[in-house]
């Protein structure tokens, strides 16, 4: 397991105010706006460079940079890659070839409807993140050759050479969904390389960004303002995130048209709040579910949150929980075996399950490399715990430490900048509550502990949600002790009460109340209880029991390694082991 040291926050944010109504976005405390022409500025500032160069001398920093070099050309990172995607247009099918093998003459009018056979290009093949990778090496070494390699990446981009995934490209990407991440990654490359370019080429790139328009729904303005789709669509976060990074990168540059930049940034900031409040809830649930949520967050939005804070002086992250829980929900919900070998389970809802921890491509990857830049300092030890216990050993074995297993160089750049080196992990139980409520979507997560594959996670979604894809409400999912099951009764409606306790939590609707108790007082490791108009008193089977206690009806599920403890009525309340369950006006109450 890697032992890791701390660069500390690269831009200090204003202290968060309690509650979910703090001013948002908050101004970054002590923020000094970048001067015209000042770079780097997006992910770190010039004043951070000394510490980053020290980081590059540590064993951990060297390990990340070694991986970065492999991602740049398959070897030492001293030259351009030799493999490029020979696909000439989006969705034509990925195939390895030389840079001049691509047929781009019809890229402005793509006609391919059915994808060709896709190849998985090896590490080192050209990507939209290559300029950023060379740019970091330029910043760390001061060697102009790396800035020159970054320039060559932009020249390839202008020629229409596509990413390893042909949907992503500077020229004619595959729609707004692919446009945002493409220009966002190139913006990071511009920020890190442009000091090493002559004024003419720097202006050429700036003008290419500010005048960017690659067809319907793929102009800088259209994407920055979220003209296509809506916050509940998995496309929207990808669409608006990349343009924010572009605008923050070119502000004040010769040829940028700052009036236009400022107007678009103002509109873009409003889109960020809309995404975080309409598409996402306040504790990590996304309108279309977990798989689509990775597209909304991972492809360009989470790095853009970091850029807004470092380059724009606006903190969307710490004042309220919404942005942080895009990442922290993985800590709350992931069960891993504790060995760091990549074995995990997560109670996924909705479609696109292949994105959950895919760790390949642009979606469902960079959870840690990017996530460390978009959560509070106080939360980082919990995210570090999850990485160390779920993926560190397998990543190290694959020579891709610190969440650099993804084949995009800009993800390795983010890992190098964001990883909390020498920060000690903390068990998430020291940082996160046992239960959380996403108020917008009526989504609940309960967890007993963070230890190993026998951890228990219970999630409930009271209301169906919808973007373009929909997620049905009512189901209560139960993962634990190697089992994946559901509570026998669905519960839907609007929440009327929620309380997290030291050993679980309770919520209620007009139809009934549901509670989870992990104290062990019942004789089981987890006790799940629903009170309400439940029919079938006395019918029990295995770990599920239905009991009437006076006017109250209870459905009980227990999880444990031994025989299921038996519940019995005691007047109006229920007794199971040493645990009692009573019904109060707000909901059920556990009490020994």
Taking the C-alpha atoms of residue 523 and residue 559, their distance in angstroms, rounded to an integer, is: 9
Contact 323, 282 (CB under 8 A): no
The helix or strand, by DSSP H or E, that contains position 27, with its residue range, turns out to be strand 26-27
Residues 2-17 have pLDDT tens digits of 333 334 333 333 333 3
Tell me, what's the pLDDT at 2? Answer: 37
Residue 471 near residue 463, CB atoms below 8 Å:
no
**Terminal Cα-to-Cα distance of the chain (whole angstroms):** 41
Q: What is the mean pLDDT of the chain?
A: 92
> Do 534 and 548 touch, CB atoms closer than 8 A?
no
Looking at residue 539, its pLDDT comes to 53
Distances (CA, A) of 554 to 275, 425, 440, 500: 39, 40, 27, 20
Which residue, 4, 10, 13, is CA-closest to 48? 10
Structure confidence at residue 8 (pLDDT)? 38
In sequence order, what DSSP letters do the residues of 201-254 get, joined into one string? HHHHHHHHHHT-B-STT-BHHHHHTT-SS-TTSHHHHHHHHHHHHHHHHHTTST
Cα separation of 398 and 392, whole Å?
Answer: 10
DSSP-assigned letters across all residues of 163-216: PSSTT--SSS-SSHHHHHHHHHHHHHHHHHHGGGS-HHHHHHHHHHHHT-B-ST
Specify whether the CB–CB gap between 188 and 132 falls below 8 A: yes
Residue ranges of E strands in 462-525: 465-466, 470-471, 476-480, 483-486, 495-501, 504-509, 513-517
Q: According to the model, what pLDDT value does residue 114 have?
A: 37
Spatial contact of 326 and 297, defined as CB atoms under 8 Å apart: yes
Whose CA is closest to 455, among 334, 283, 570? 334
Q: What is the per-residue pLDDT across 423-459, written as a single tens digit (0 to 9) for each?
A: 999 999 999 999 999 999 999 999 999 999 999 999 9
Query: How many other CB atoms are there within 10 angstroms of residue 131's CB atom?
Result: 31
Distance (Å, rounded) from C-alpha 330 to C-alpha 339?
17
The 10 Å CB-count burial string (b at 16+, else e) for 189-216 is bbbbbbbbbeeeebbebbbbbbebebbe
H helical segments located in 409-515: 409-418
Interval 310-357: pLDDT, tens: 999 999 999 999 999 999 999 999 999 999 999 999 999 999 999 999
pLDDT at 509: 94
- How far apart are alpha carbons 592 and 579 in whole angstroms? 5
How far is the C-alpha of 316 from the C-alpha of 321, rounded, in Å? 9
pTM, full prediction: 0.93
| Residues sharing a CB contact under 8 Å with residue 174, sequence separation 6 or more, in sequence order | 90, 91, 166, 167, 168
Which residues of the chain, if any, have pLDDT below 70? 1-20, 99-117, 533-542
Q: C-alpha dihedral over 426, 431, 435, 438, to 10 degrees?
A: -120
For residue 239, what are the CA distances in angstroms to 224, 225, 247, 307, 557?
A: 7, 9, 14, 15, 43
Each residue of 227-247: pLDDT tens digit?
A: 999 999 999 999 999 999 999
From CA 60, how far away is CA 57, in angstroms rounded? Answer: 8
Residue 355, CB-side half-sphere exposure with 13 Å CA sphere: 22
Cα–Cα dist 37/128, whole Å:
23
User: Which helix (H) or strand (E) element contains residue 124?
Assistant: none
Distance CA 77, CA 58 (A): 19
Contacts of 272 (CB under 8 A, 6+ apart): 25, 240, 244, 304, 305, 308, 316
Residue in this structure with the two tokens 């850029």, named with its chain if needed: 307
């Amino acid at each position: 397991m890697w032992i890791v040291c701390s660069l500390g926050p690269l831009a200090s944010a204003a202290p968060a105010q309690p509650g979910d109504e703090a001013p948002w976005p908050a101004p970054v405390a002590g923020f000094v706006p970048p001067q015209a022409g000042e770079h780097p500025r997006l992910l770190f500032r010039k004043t951070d460079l000394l510490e980053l160069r020290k980081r590059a001398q540590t064993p951990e920093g060297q390990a990340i940079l070694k991986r970065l070099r492999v991602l740049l050309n398959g070897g030492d990172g001293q030259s351009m890659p030799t493999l490029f995607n020979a696909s000439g247009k989006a969705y034509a099918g990925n195939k390895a070839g030389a840079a001049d093998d691509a047929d781009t003459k019809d890229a402005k009018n793509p006609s391919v409807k059915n994808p060709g056979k896709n190849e998985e290009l090896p590490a080192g093949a050209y990507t939209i993140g290559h300029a950023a990778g060379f740019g970091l090496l330029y910043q760390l070494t001061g060697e102009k050759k790396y800035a020159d390699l970054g320039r060559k990446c932009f020249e390839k981009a202008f020629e229409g050479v596509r990413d390893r995934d042909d949907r992503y490209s500077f020229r004619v990407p595959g729609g707004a969904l692919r446009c945002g991440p493409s220009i966002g990654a190139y913006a990071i490359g511009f920020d890190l390389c442009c000091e090493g370019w002559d004024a003419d080429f720097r202006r050429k790139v700036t003008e290419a960004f500010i005048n960017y328009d690659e067809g319907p729904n793929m102009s800088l303005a259209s994407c920055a303002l979220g003209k296509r789709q809506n916050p509940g669509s998995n496309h929207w976060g990808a669409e608006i995130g990349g343009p924010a990074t572009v605008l923050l990168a070119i502000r004040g540059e010769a040829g940028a048209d700052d009036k236009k930049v400022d107007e678009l940034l103002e509109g873009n900031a409003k889109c960020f709040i809309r995404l975080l409040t309409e598409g996402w809830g306040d504790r990590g649930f996304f309108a279309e579910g977990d798989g689509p949520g990775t597209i909304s967050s991972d492809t360009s939005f989470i790095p853009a949150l970091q850029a807004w804070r470092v380059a724009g002086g606006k903190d969307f992250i710490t004042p309220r929980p919404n942005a942080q829980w895009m990442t922290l929900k993985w800590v709350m919900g992931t069960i891993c075996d504790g060995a760091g070998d990549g074995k995990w389970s997560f109670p996924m809802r909705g479609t696109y399950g292949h994105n959950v921890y895919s760790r390949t491509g642009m979606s469902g990857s960079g959870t840690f490399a990017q996530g460390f830049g978009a959560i509070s300092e106080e939360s980082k030890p919990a995210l570090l715990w999850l990485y160390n216990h779920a993926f560190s050993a397998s990543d190290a074995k694959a020579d891709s430490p610190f969440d650099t297993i993804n084949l995009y160089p800009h993800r390795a750049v983010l890992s190098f900048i964001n990883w909390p080196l020498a920060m000690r992990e903390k068990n998430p139980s020291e940082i996160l509550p046992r239960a959380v409520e996403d108020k917008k979507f009526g989504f609940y997560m309960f967890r007993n502990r963070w230890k190993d594959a026998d951890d228990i996670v219970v999630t409930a979604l009271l209301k169906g949600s919808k973007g373009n894809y929909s997620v049905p409400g009512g189901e209560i999912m139960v993962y634990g002790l190697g089992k994946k099951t559901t509570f026998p009764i669905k519960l839907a409606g609007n929440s009327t009460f929620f309380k997290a306790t030291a050993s679980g939590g309770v919520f209620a609707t007009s139809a009934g109340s549901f509670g989870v108790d992990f104290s062990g007082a019942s004789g089981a490791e987890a006790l799940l209880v629903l009170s309400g108009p439940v029919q079938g008193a006395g019918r029990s089977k295995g770990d599920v029991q239905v009991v009437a206690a006076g006017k109250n009806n209870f459905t009980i599920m227990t999880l444990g390694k031994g025989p299921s403890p038996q519940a019995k009525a005691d007047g109006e309340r229920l007794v199971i082991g040493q645990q009692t369950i009573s019904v109060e006006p707000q909901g059920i109450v556990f009490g020994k």
